Structure 1
Amino acid sequence: MAETWDTIADWYAERLRTGSAMHEFSRDILLDCLPETLTGQRILDLGCGEGIITRALAARGAWALGIDPFPRMIEQAQAAPKNGPPGAHYAVDDGCTLATVATGSVHWVTAALSLNNVPDLSAALTAVRRVLVPGGGLAFTIAHPCFEAPHATWTDRAQGRPRRVVGDYHAEGFWRSDNPQGVRRAGNQHRMLSTYLNALGGHGFLLEATAEPSPSSRVAAEQPQRAGLPPFFLVRASRS
């Protein structure tokens, strides 16, 4: 049976709660591109998973709503320690429609490693633009598609040092990893960088910043082969 985010939800939540350097790095770089204080801000966290970003937003003072299409993920988010920030809320919803979120109701939308999972990027950006107030912001991270193209592998042929071997970069679409301990065994949508950036402009977003942060020291210590590559691509844009 093919894995889904529902079937791996318990494993995924446990992995993050016992400490995942990669996910904490993704959280930290996303938070770094947001205002330091979010008091009074209403934020939608699209594809929240077990709530790692939603909780962090609430800790900065925001009213944060985490949505995810997979009920077991929302159950895990709601089961997080109850002594967490009071501003974190959760609901089952589809990021391609955001049917439970009112038009023009949020100041920010965040999406940490989730837009690369939505099947229809155009629909998701249409929904995000609808729920944002005029001038509202979108901040997201994706697994860097240049280095996480379908079935990329590692080799140590270059002077004994690990190197990323990537092919099929132009082959956009759904793919599933055969790594039994990887999150992409639940599936992933590969898209080129140009696809993301052109889609933002085509849906009325103004690009404000992009970044390809070097791995944190903790990520590099856990996965030394990644020390020379950015694991994530970060984007901040605003609704025109």
Structure 2
Amino acid sequence: MTDESWDTIADWYAALLRAGSALNDFNRDVLLALLPDELSGLRVLDLGCGEGIITRALAARGAAATGIDPSPRLIEHARAAGTPGPGTVVYAVDDGCVLGTVADGSVDRMTAGLSLNHVPDLDAALAAVRRVLVPRGTLAFSIPHPCFEAPHASWTTATDGTARRVVGDYLAEGFRRSDNPRAVRRAGNQHRTLATYLAALLRHGFTLEAVTEPTPTAHVAARRPKRAGLPPFLVVRVRSA
């Protein structure tokens, strides 16, 4: 095992996404599918923005977008990428469990692309989301699909020669770190069950509006053929009270 962090892998991660990452591009697209095409006049906060792949897409739809991430190095990469417009982008180093740079009731919509699975305290993060959202504001988020990305999940080959996913220790919640030197998860990941996510959303008063398990596109399947028959992500939109 390594003791990598998002700061130590930031340069590698930014280069990976800028070169074109089929799964990360797919994640951005399926998450944005839960938002209006036109976001002009709306204040949108991107929680765990990383190098800004989703934040830039929000600005491209006209949003006044703010991207926050706890990694200073990733925020440096996000700022260096610029703003595609017609909206605007501001970035800040911030803790997703606190959102200390964000005022109460100052956000119309929020996105969290593959980031709630990194916050150590889900309840604290959702409480912060509720605090900064306007009444009836929405949160759209994606996470690695908990059923297929559980600890110790692996691949096997069926008798017909096709790849099959072996479900790992699904009920073993907690922090895990990959020892694969080319994996994003070498910086760590919080595995939680579907029930844990849904119960936390209900506990904080959110109303479920949409949930999808997106089918990989032909492009994703071509790049990652083993994943052609499985949804890599769970994508959810909820509304605050």
The normalised TM-score by structure 2 is 0.97
Q: Please list every run of 5 or more consecutive structure 1 residues that lacks an aligned counterpart in the other structure.
A: none
Superposed displacement of residue 83, structure 1: 5.9
Q: Relative to 1, partners in 2 of residues 1:141 and 1:158: Cα closer, same or farther, differing over 3 Å?
A: farther
- Residue in structure 1 matched with residue 140 of structure 2 by the alignment: 139
| Aligned mates of 2:224, 2:26 — CA distance in 1 | 13
Task: Kindly indicate whether residue 56 of structure 2 is the aligned counterpart of residue 55 of structure 1.
Answer: yes
Superposed displacement of residue 158, structure 1: 3.8
Q: Please list every run of 5 or more consecutive structure 2 residues that lacks an aligned counterpart in the other structure.
A: none
RMSD over aligned Cα, in angstroms? 0.9
**C-alpha contact (below 8 Å) 2:83/2:89 kept by paired residues:** no
Runs of 4+ in 1 over 6 A off after TM superposition: none
The C-alpha deviation readout for 1:46-105, integer Å capped at 9, x for no partner, is 00000000000000000000000010010110111x362251110000000000100000
**C-alpha contact (below 8 Å) 1:155/1:162 kept by paired residues:** yes
The equivalences for 1:5-20 within 5 A come to 5-20=6-21
| Aligned mates of 2:20, 2:165 — CA distance in 1 | 25
| Aligned mates of 2:25, 2:147 — CA distance in 1 | 21
- Residue in structure 2 matched with residue 22 of structure 1 by the alignment: 23
The secondary structure found in structure 2 opposite 1:194 is: helix
- Residue in structure 2 matched with residue 40 of structure 1 by the alignment: 41
Aligned residues: 239
- Residue in structure 1 matched with residue 84 of structure 2 by the alignment: 84
Matched letter for residue 84 of structure 2: G
Identity value in percent: 67
**C-alpha contact (below 8 Å) 1:142/1:234 kept by paired residues:** yes
Q: Relative to 1, partners in 2 of residues 1:239 and 1:83: Cα closer, same or farther, differing over 3 Å?
A: closer
**C-alpha contact (below 8 Å) 1:74/1:92 kept by paired residues:** yes
Superposed displacement of residue 181, structure 1: 0.8
The equivalences for 1:47-196 within 5 A come to 47-80=48-81, 82=82, 84-85=84-85, 87-196=88-197
The secondary structure found in structure 2 opposite 1:137 is: strand
**C-alpha contact (below 8 Å) 2:212/2:235 kept by paired residues:** yes
The normalised TM-score by structure 1 is 0.98
| Aligned mates of 1:225, 1:121 — CA distance in 2 | 30
| Aligned mates of 2:232, 2:134 — CA distance in 1 | 31
The secondary structure found in structure 1 opposite 2:7 is: coil
| Aligned mates of 1:136, 1:212 — CA distance in 2 | 23
Superposed displacement of residue 151, structure 1: 2.1
